[in-house]
Amino acid sequence: MTDRKRRHFGSVRKRVSKRHGDNWEAAYWHEGQRIVADHHFATKEEANAWLDAKNTEIRAGRWIDPAGRKLKFSEWAELWKTTTVDLRPSTRERDLGYLNRYVLPTFGHQSIGKIDYMAVSKWVAEMLDPGPKPWWDVDNEPDRPRRPLSASTVTKAGQVMGKIMAMAVRAGKISSNPCEGIKLPRIERREMRFLNTAEVDQLARAIDPAFRAVVYLGAFGGLRAGELFGLRRDRVDVLRRRVDICETVVEVAGLLYVGPPKTRAGHRIVPLPQIAVDALVEHIRTHPGDPSDYVFSAPHGGPVRLASWRSRFWNPAVKASGLAHLRSHDLRHTAVALWIAAGASPKEASVRAGHTSVSFTLDRYGHLYPGSEDEVNDRLDAMVAEGRKPAKPLQLVSNPDDSGNDAELDRAQVAPSSQLPVPTEAVVVPLIRGGVSGRWGARTLDLSRVNPIHACLCDDTRRRKTA
């Protein structure tokens, strides 16, 4: 009787179907649940091979729960929202906006296990090269042409999608991230706007006097908008001409959030020129308050809301001063440009601005630093000109006396080395007759006729040979 091999992992059984014919079902137990293959196999060998593969995945720690792959993307996105506790309120609100407007309309109804690389690639391509159907328009008019999204919007939406799927991989819901390797569009940086000192004064005179110090503090101190309106009076050191940046005020979905600066480098002490200090002193004198109060407050008290301040004070001042399309953040760019023009090093500019690294400062503002391009080019041209000068020929000087009288030549050549002339323009090589054959022989240079040291050595050699 032939012994039948018994499986130690999983089981297979034969199923008889009048419609599909005979097939095999495979199942196994893991973590207290019985898991059945989502498809049937034509042969028993195929079912056993599938069980062996699952057993290998479990032993290697690569096992994926099939129930997790069936989870809807919208349901998983809700779980992902609960994990975004390390983000600033403004960053979290921005990511949720991209998720609701661009990601969920396409993938919300799909299972996370069904989303593959090609689906994500097609989604990115459709946002950049839109078709006729405007799936993100609220009115959803069929005759309305679909507008392409900007490279920045597509990149941010793709990054949010990638973060959600990456968490699904870490949670063991899917085996790989379908967003890996997706080529997102390149974001072209917006050209920065810089003001000169005369334009800064012009803008300061046009804005409401209650916020005149904001212009000088932003244009010479480089503070962000949230840092300007989060600055408290006890953080201003007039005697030392500096301010301590330790908190910001941002508005998200109509709510104000007070917290630390954007990055760790943002918590800094910013030195100020006298013009900014004078503006701050004048503002504090005309608007008294407690040391813990904000330096700049809303017209009716309380912290300033940036959106309302722009529409009520900033935009009218920009229009009145003739500085069209000027953003409040351009004051920060202006400050960095003025620091560089005043001779600040990249490290000093990075610390003043609160950048995370000097490389970021050089990447954004490196073109403003004076370079040595002209000096290098001038030196290269001089090198080329020197190389193109015609070379002077080598001059060979021989003894014009053919009589064999070498006494005068000996007296001229045998001289102290310190008295020998150093050739400057031409190289003088005396040709001394050899003692072999012919009129000039082999033109062997007799060193005893040139250097007295060699003459002594040669004489000593002759004496030894004679003896």
Query: Does residue 377 form part of some domain?
Result: no
Q: Are residues 331 and 218 in the same domain?
A: yes
Q: Tokens 């001779």: give the residue.
A: 343
Query: Does residue 101 form part of some domain?
Result: yes
Q: Are residues 232 and 346 in the same domain?
A: yes
- For 248, the 3-state DSSP assignment is strand
Q: Are residues 292 and 336 in the same domain?
A: yes
Per-residue pLDDT tens, the chain, 467 aa: give them: 434 455 678 888 887 776 666 788 888 787 777 877 777 788 888 888 888 887 877 777 666 767 667 889 999 999 999 888 778 888 888 999 999 999 999 999 999 988 999 999 999 999 988 765 544 554 544 444 567 888 999 999 999 999 999 999 888 888 889 999 999 988 877 778 899 999 999 999 999 999 999 999 999 999 999 999 999 999 999 999 999 999 999 888 888 888 888 888 889 999 999 999 999 999 999 999 899 999 999 988 889 999 999 999 999 999 999 998 899 999 999 999 999 999 999 999 999 999 989 998 988 888 888 776 677 888 888 889 888 888 777 666 555 555 455 544 444 444 444 444 544 444 444 444 444 444 444 444 454 454 554 455 455 555 554 44
Query: Does residue 303 form part of some domain?
Result: yes
Q: Are residues 327 and 240 in the same domain?
A: yes
Q: Are residues 324 and 411 in the same domain?
A: no
Which among 308, 248, 233, 238 is positioned nearest to 273, based on CA atoms? Answer: 238
Total structural domains in the chain?
A: 4
What's the token pair of residue 48? 């056993």
Domain of 28 in residue numbering reads as: 11-63
- Cα–Cα distance between 160 and 102 in angstroms, integer? 10
Q: Are residues 138 and 226 in the same domain?
A: no
Query: Does residue 192 form part of some domain?
Result: no
- Cα–Cα distance between 212 and 199 in angstroms, integer? 13
Which among 35, 41, 40 is positioned nearest to 9, based on CA atoms? Answer: 35
Which of 343, 368, 393 lies at the terminal end of a domain, its last residue? 368
Which of 320, 339, 368 lies at the terminal end of a domain, its last residue? 368
Q: How many CA atoms lie within 13 A of 109 on its CB side?
A: 2
Edge-first strand order for the sheet with 11-15 is 11-15, 23-30, 33-36
Burial class (CB in 10 A: 0-12, 13-18, 19+), 333: buried
Q: Are residues 229 and 120 in the same domain?
A: no
Under 8 Å between Cβ of 110 and 123: no
H or E segment and range at residue 461: helix 452-466
Query: Does residue 383 form part of some domain?
Result: no
What's the token pair of residue 205? 């005179």
Q: Are residues 341 and 239 in the same domain?
A: yes
Q: Are residues 228 and 342 in the same domain?
A: yes
- Cα–Cα distance between 129 and 145 in angstroms, integer? 12
Q: Are residues 311 and 226 in the same domain?
A: yes
Query: Does residue 207 form part of some domain?
Result: yes
Query: Does residue 379 form part of some domain?
Result: no
Q: Are residues 291 and 412 in the same domain?
A: no
What's the token pair of residue 302? 């309380």
Q: Are residues 206 and 339 in the same domain?
A: yes
Residue 321, domain CATH:
1.10.443.10
